[in-house]
Amino acid sequence: MFLDAIDKALLAGAFGPAAQRAMRLLQPYGEALGAARFIDIASAHIDGCLYHGPSGLDFVRAFLGSGARVRVPTSLNVMAVDLVHPERFAAPPVLADRQRELLQGYLDLGCAPTLTCAPYQRLPRPTFGEHVAWAESNATVFVNSCLGARSDRYGDFTDLCAALTGRVPEAGLHLDENRRARLLLRAPAPDASDLDRDLWFVCLGYALGEIARDRVAVIVGSPPDTTEDELKALGAAAASSGSVALFHVLGVTPEAKRLADVLDPATAPGEVSLSGDDLRRIAGRLCRAAAGEPVAAFCAGTPHYSPDEFRRLAAGVAGRRAAAGVEVLVSTSRAIAQQVEAAPWAEALWSFGVRLVVDTCTYLTPPALAGAGWVVTPSGKWAHYAPGTIGRRAALMSLDRCLRCAERGRIVP
């Protein structure tokens, strides 16, 4: 790999031992990816602040102690627990203690305590064409696809190394040629699929992940009024069923104004046409619940709910109430939670039984639920991961149907 003067200085320790250690990890990393050189990044988003065990603490502590600071603005992803409402989770207190220590390590290095997988819903956003190092699969896919910023698929540890050095290997999705679509995915008309619009986007995303795996795809057939929240849900599902870190939507996402902008003129893309049946089959696989079975909870906010999503939820639950014993948990950031708690329209949420979860997400640590019944969710990511991560049976459905199930305390058709 070619090294610039700054890379050599970082490796030689001119920026301190922490940046040196980080660069010593980035160099073999860049070589493994076949990068020719390093480039500057404008910001970083760190996933490594989520506690998975003592090894995460060992890692961050290796960088502490020399006054090291991140070299670019750096936000923090969710943690393993909600430090504001720990009673909403069935976690041993020691987990919160360990998590606090891990968070403190990242704060000591100068990271901002955003504690959300969707910091772009509040902070200044990465801009079109800007190189960034954003970890957390649904954050990566969002900044690449919806903002046209450039992040490769970063894992824990690479995120902090990039933040401490301000450098990443010029590889993967930082390069023009790797941002072109290798797959053209034709979506069935939302009306023809017989799925509610929100469920249509989630199932389309889930199908995209399964078909594309890690290939960049361009979707044709998404409505021209597709919203950012819909793309957020689609991307999170695609990054769960596959390793999609960038997708284009013709006429919607910023790099795909015309098909010619995202297709490689030299190679024909693979082409797949999805039918309404294909999407309904995915919806069926992610919802095995039968009518009449008990519901223990409704979980939303994976990725973290936006102010718009809260407003829509409040309108949907106005005058209604969840059945006794059904927990209604919606995850978001502390900053958006504050905004919602102060909003005049929020009363409808609390009357329905909505409780906010911050700092974390409800599929990382088991929420404290009274019943053993189904968890209904409009999130493809939640439905995909929760059975493995927290041992909960999840039923994916449209928001509208989720709310009717929560109201009845039973699965309704």
Partner 1 sequence: MNAPRNISGRRLVAGTARGTTAVLQAPLSLWGGFDPASGRIIDVHHPQHGLQIAGHIVVMPGGRGSSSSASVLLESVRLGRHPLALVLAEPDPVLVIGALVAADLYRVAVPVVRIGAAELAAVPDGANVRVDAMQSAANIVIA
Q: Which residues bind partner 1 (CB under 8 A)?
A: 21, 24-25, 28-29, 32-34, 47-48, 50, 52-56, 58-59, 62, 135-137, 140, 152-159, 161, 171-172, 213-214, 239-243, 384-385, 387-389
Q: Which is nearer to partner 1, 181 or 403 (CB)?
A: 181
- Distance from chain centroid for Cα 216: 17
Reduce the DSSP state of residue 136 to 3 states and report it. Answer: coil
Nearer to partner 1, 58 or 176 (CB): 58
Closer CB to partner 1, 247 or 385, in the complex = 385
- Taking the complex as a whole, the smallest distance from the CB of residue 345 to partner 1 amounts, in Å, to 34
Cβ neighbourhood burial of 342 (10 Å; 0-12, 13-18, 19+): exposed
CA end-to-end distance (rounded Å), the chain: 58
User: Given the complex with partner 1, which of 45 and 410 has the nearer CB atom?
Assistant: 45
Alpha-carbon distance of 374 to 371, in angstroms, equals 9
Contacts of 105 (CB under 8 A, 6+ apart): 57, 60, 61, 63, 64
Query: Minimum CB separation from partner 1 for residue 363, in Å?
Result: 9
Least distance from partner 1 to the Cβ atom of residue 394, Å: 10
With respect to partner 1, which residue has the nearer C-beta, 140 or 226?
A: 140
Q: In terms of CB distance, is 6 or 62 closer to partner 1?
A: 62
CB of residue 165 vs partner 1: minimum separation in angstroms?
14
How big is the chain, counted in residues? Answer: 413
Min CB(324)–partner 1 separation in Å: 30
| DSSP labels, 312-346 | HHHHHHTT--PPTT-EEEEE--HHHHHHHHT-GGG
Q: Toward partner 1, which CB reaches closer, 166 or 380? A: 380
Q: Of 53 and 93, which CB lies nearer to partner 1 in the complex structure?
A: 53
Cβ–Cβ < 8 Å for 311, 124: no
> From the CB of 172, what's the least distance to partner 1, in Å?
7
Amino acid (one-letter) located at 172: G
Q: By the 8 A CB rule, do 48 and 135 touch?
A: yes
Please report how close the Cβ of residue 346 comes to partner 1 at its closest, in angstroms: 32
Check: CB of residue 214 under 8 Å from CB of residue 244: yes
Smaller CB separation from partner 1, 92 or 155: 155
Among the listed residues 156, 191, 129, the one whose alpha carbon sits nearest the alpha carbon of residue 44: 156
Longest dimension (CA), the chain: 67
Which residues, including other chains, have CB under 8 Å from residue 106's CB and lie 6 or more apart? 46, 48, 49, 60, 76, 160
Least separation in angstroms between residue 326's CB and partner 1 is: 24
- Least separation in angstroms between CB 34 and partner 1: 8
- The residues near 369 (Cβ < 8 Å, ≥ 6 apart) are 90, 296, 297, 327, 375, 392
